[in-house]
Each structure stands twice: as C-alpha cells, then as structure tokens.
C-alpha cells in the first residue's frame, strides 16, 4: 500500500531524529575528550537539529489536517509557520556559536588553548559523511511530498555538513600549530548557519503571503485552458500560493449563444483539467463570460 505524504514526511523526520541524537552524543563526547571548541559548537548545532525536527513533525501533522469550520481553506500554512520557527531556532544557534568563538579570539590567550585530539578530527569526518547523506534523504522526501518544512529541515542538515567541514579544518589547523583556528572555525560555522536560516525564513515568508505562481506554471495554465473546446479566451487569470497549494481564480469567455448548461459544462471541464494536470492545485474557480463576435479572445 502506497504511503501518504504525511506518512513519508513523518518517517523521514523520525529517522533523522534518531540519527541526530546518536551524532550529537558522538560530537559532544569528541568535543569534551578531544578538547575541541569547534566540535562542541558542532554538537550544539546537531542538538538543535533534534528540536527542529520535532517542530517539523508538529508542522506536518497540523498542515495535513482536513479543512474545518475555523480553517475552511485547510491548514497548509502551518508548515510555513514551522519553517519560520525552524529558521529562528537555527539563527539563535548560529549566533550563540559565533559569540563563543569571538570571545575566544578576542581574549588572545592563544598559548593556553588546548590542542584538539584525534578523536575530534575523526568525528568531524564521520559527521560530514552522515549529515550529507541525511541531507539527500530528507531532500528526496521533501520533493516527493512538496513539503516546505521538510525541505527547510533538509537544508538544516546541509548547514550541519558545512559546520562539520569548518570543524574539520579548524581542528586540523589547531593540530598543525595554529590553536586559534579551532575558534575561527566556530565563527565560520556561525556564518554558514545564519545564511541557511535567512534562506529558510525567506522561503517560508513567501509561502505565507499571497504570492503568484511562477511564469512557467501560469503559462501552463493558460495553454491548458485555451486548448479546451469552445473556450474563446481568458479574460482574467489570478493565481496564488497558499502554503504548498495553488489557488486559481479565472474568467474564461465562451460564445454568447452558448446555453447556461453548456457554459457550466465547459467551465467544469477546464476546472477538472487544471486540477488534474497542474501539480498541487488545491482550488480552482472558473467563471464564464459571454464572448461576442468581433471581440478579442
């Protein structure tokens, strides 16, 4: 039996929760016993992944609730709310890591810094491989379900990859004679995390407002509509994104002599074709106008 989008999203989320718990514990161990500030920063970042995934799970569950009297258009925008909370959590994590790195750098007590151990270096490599795998796994699930919250969480994994790369370079630099590079790596990790947080926030905000579909989708809507028999033209076409769903409001013109029953049937055909052929169309309203001979289509 084929799984629903909600089941796919939740399965992917629970898998990443388990992986992140194991990875966070490993990084924390390596950071403490390997004496690496960068690895400890990376551990905190991975811990934030666990909390962020719980936010995604909650968002997916609410977003998949059926429309009700209080929310007649459904709950899809709750996924965007989850993505915004995720961006805020990610941004706060990044700022905390950056502040810790800056304090060490400006203290200038470089000679007292402890050189990170081999265990921290090995853990950084393991983290890079694991988190990159989780990014592609979560990205595939996000594309399959068209989930903005899942895609945001996938990019959270990618930011962890960048964090671990920064950790690796910082630890390596510290081990070859530049201890301050471990703290510099924490600062670089902060910048990567903040960049991802801003991107996630921007995408979520775009889905929260009534933004029109892209030009390619709009052109496809026009092409499909005009291809239907007895449609003389399109007088008005408005589209908007509601969460991950597409809403279409359009006015088509048919010959003025067409009966009410025939006009209704034409509108119904256009409605069904658009909902069937355009991905993620949640609602389509088609109004019919009379088209007089000599008018432009």
Pick one of 3.50.50.60, 3.30.70.1350, 3.40.50.300, 1.20.120.450 as the CATH number of 215-291. 3.30.70.1350
Structure tokens at 281: 């169309």
Contacts of 47 (CB under 8 A, 6+ apart): 20, 24
Contacts of 106 (CB under 8 A, 6+ apart): none
For 71-121, write each residue's pLDDT tens digit.
Answer: 666 667 777 787 788 788 778 877 877 887 787 677 666 554 556 677 877
Q: Is the pLDDT higher at 236 or at 117?
A: 236
pLDDT over threshold 60, residue 251 = yes
> Taking the alpha carbons of 292, 277, 146, 3 in that order, is the dihedral positive or negative?
positive
pLDDT at position 294: 54
The domain spans of the chain are 5-208, 215-291
The reply to whether 215-291 shares the fold of 5-208 is no
For 178-188, write each residue's pLDDT tens digit.
Answer: 767 767 777 77
Distance CA 68, CA 288 (A): 29
pLDDT over threshold 90, residue 191 = no
The Cα-based distances of 167 to 43, 79, 89, 233 in angstroms read: 10, 32, 21, 60
Contacts of 248 (CB under 8 A, 6+ apart): 221, 237, 238, 239, 274, 278, 281, 283, 284, 285
CATH 1.20.1250.20 fits 5-208, yes or no: no
pLDDT at position 244: 67
Tell me the average pLDDT across 270-283: 87
For 135-160, write each residue's pLDDT tens digit.
Answer: 898 888 888 877 777 777 787 777 77
Structure tokens at 58: 């909650």
Is the model's pTM score more than 0.85?
A: no
pLDDT at position 110: 53
Q: Is the pLDDT higher at 185 or at 272?
A: 272
């Amino acid at each position: 039996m084929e799984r629903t989008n909600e089941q796919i999203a939740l399965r992917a989320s629970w898998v990443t929760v388990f992986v992140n718990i194991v990875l966070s514990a490993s990084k924390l161990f390596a950071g403490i016993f390997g004496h690496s500030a960068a690895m400890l920063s990376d551990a905190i970042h991975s811990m934030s992944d666990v909390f962020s995934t719980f936010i995604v799970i909650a968002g997916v569950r609410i977003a998949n609730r059926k429309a009700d009297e209080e929310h007649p258009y459904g709950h899809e925008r709750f996924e965007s709310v989850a993505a915004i909370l995720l961006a805020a959590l990610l941004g706060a994590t990044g700022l905390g890591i950056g502040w810790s790195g800056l304090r060490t750098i400006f203290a200038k007590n470089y000679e007292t810094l402890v050189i990170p151990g081999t265990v921290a270096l090995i853990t950084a490599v393991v983290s890079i491989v694991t988190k990159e795998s989780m990014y592609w796994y979560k990205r595939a699930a996000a594309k399959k379900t068209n989930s903005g919250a899942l895609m945001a969480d996938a990019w959270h994994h990618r930011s962890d990859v960048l964090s671990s790369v920064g950790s690796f370079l910082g630890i390596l630099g510290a081990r070859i004679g530049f201890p301050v590079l471990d703290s510099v790596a924490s600062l670089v990790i902060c910048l990567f995390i903040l960049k991802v947080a801003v991107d996630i926030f921007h995408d979520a905000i775009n889905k929260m407002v009534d933004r029109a579909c892209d030009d390619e989708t709009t052109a496809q809507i026009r092409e499909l509509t005009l291809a239907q028999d007895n449609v003389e033209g399109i007088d008005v076409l408005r589209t908007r994104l509601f969460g991950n769903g597409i809403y279409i409001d359009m006015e088509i013109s048919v010959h003025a002599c067409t009966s009410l029953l025939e006009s209704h049937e034409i509108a119904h055909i256009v409605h069904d074709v658009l909902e069937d052929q355009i991905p993620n169309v949640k609602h389509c309203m088609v109004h019919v106008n009379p088209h007089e001979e000599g008018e432009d289509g």
